[in-house]
Amino acid sequence: MRHYTEITCKHCQSNDIVKNGHRPNGDQRWRCKSCKKSFQVTYRSNAYQPGVEDKIDEMTLNSSGVRDIARVLKISKYKVMSHLKKTSAK
């Protein structure tokens, strides 16, 4: 039994993509032929999932602490602090 999943580009939503090697940890990389950008479909860590940084910002505005954010999103508190430092520098 074979199962196929349709993969679309995260940047332009095109389905004209090809394999583009592997990450050092073994995860498959994909490249869009339309916009020439590379992306991953699966991530091993929750910290690099799309949308996590937006959730960090939202929880910070709701006055959640660094440890609370890390626990709820199941990411490292160092990732939370790193993101907050980057956004405060802007």
Q: Specify the number of domains making up the chain.
A: 2
Residues 25 and 52 placed together within one structural domain of the fold:
no
With a cut of 80, say whether residue 90 has pLDDT above it: no
Give the C-alpha separation, 56 to 60, whole Å.
6
67/28 Cα distance (integer angstroms): 31
Tokens of 54: 């937006």
Alpha-carbon distance of 39 to 70, in angstroms, equals 25
Which SS3 state, helix, strand or coil, does residue 1 take?
A: coil
Domain range for residue 81? Answer: 46-89
- pLDDT band at 41, cuts 50/70/90? confident
pLDDT at position 68: 95
**Secondary structure (3-state) at 29:** strand
- In the structure, what pLDDT confidence band is assigned to residue 17 with cuts at 50, 70 and 90? very high
Whether 51 and 69 map to the same domain: the answer is: yes
pTM: 0.65
Helices 52-61 and 77-89, axial angle in degrees (round to 10): 80
The per-residue pLDDT for 19 is 93
For the stretch 59-86, pLDDT in tens is: 999 999 999 999 999 999 999 999 999 9
